[in-house]
Structure 1
């Protein structure tokens, strides 16, 4: 597949919002959509949200696209220290791919591009949170050297959902799948 990997621009915000909603619902709304889920995605994943992210000096967004279509994105934050690791680390806030483009190396390409940004961002490592029931994501990150440090909770409408905190010291990302 011929694709382009680049920094997101303000022209991408509408596509980023739509893709984020699509991937979030595909990943987490396995029982369907209720009002809490609908409110969360429609309030969180907006073009205005992505405009703010792109304008923030401590955040970076990379996109992968093919023939003018956005296939996935990765969002980094230097503003959030890892709750279970000491030292400078960059949070991998989001790595989303449309389900139609998984297992084609695009996730690995995004992660490798993020790795190349870490020195410039002052990060000695990268951390993220993954829903404990997302076996595909946990496997993806484990295969790329991330290890579990602990747990945290994502709360939605009073319900708590366990997340695993993963961390990896700065190192090149492997090119196998994703």
Structure 2
């Protein structure tokens, strides 16, 4: 797949070399990728998830097509990530997650990236279900999901120590977006 492009963003496949470079440090990712990296990226949750991602990608290199770095074209800078968890090739389901560094939030970048990714995902024959989760106390994430066409699944709330998690489903019918 390689990259997706919107008016303001590039969504670049997060390949094995870039994953290794991120773990080694932001300077190494800048050297390997050719992009500058926001000093706020990666966020702590994503950073701690990277060793798990690395091990999975070593076993199944094709998994990189589901996760992308978000590059702000105007600044040639990595400002976030977006992608899917799990093994959509096997299950037909993909759970999406995303993050933009704080200094670039509330400018529509996640919605722009998510809408572009959804267009691409709907063209992938193995994808039968697209869903996402958000914390009840995260109005920005909820707004992104609603703007992108996700529908809240009322009876699917899940309580966790950090709060209530809401389930959102993306309608897969043609013409819906």
Structure 1 regions of 5+ residues with no counterpart?
25-40, 81-86
SS of the residue corresponding to residue 123 of structure 1 reads coil
Match of 2:69 among 63, 71, 91: 63
Which of the numbers 154, 161, 164 marks the counterpart of 1:162? 164
Mapped pair 1:75 → 2:78: no
Measured against aligned partners, the alpha-carbon deviations of 1:118-137 in whole angstroms (never above 9, x if no partner) come to: 43252233101111110111
**Cα drift, residue 51 of structure 1:** 1.7
- Matched-pair contact (CA < 8 Å) for 1:61–1:76: yes
| Number of matched pairs | 143
TM-score for the superposition, normalised by structure 2: 0.64
* More RCO (CA 8 Å, sep 6+): 1
Match of residue 101, structure 1, among 92, 101, 104: 104
Question: 2:137–2:163: 8 Å Cα contact kept in structure 1?
Answer: no
Residues 45 and 2 (structure 1 numbering): CA distance in 2 closer, same or farther, change over 3 Å? same
In structure 2, list runs of 5 or more residues that go unmatched. 1-6, 30-39
Q: Is the alpha carbon distance of 1:96 and 1:88 closer, same or farther for their aligned partners in structure 2, counting shifts above 3 Å? A: same
Q: Would you say the 8 A contact 1:88–1:124 is kept in 2?
A: yes
Q: TM-score, normalised by structure 1?
A: 0.63
Instruction: Pick closer, same or farther for the CA change 1:131–1:51 going to 2, 3 Å.
Output: same
Q: Is the 8 A contact 2:71 2:77 kept in 1?
A: yes
Q: 1:125 to 1:169 in 2, by over 3 A?
A: farther
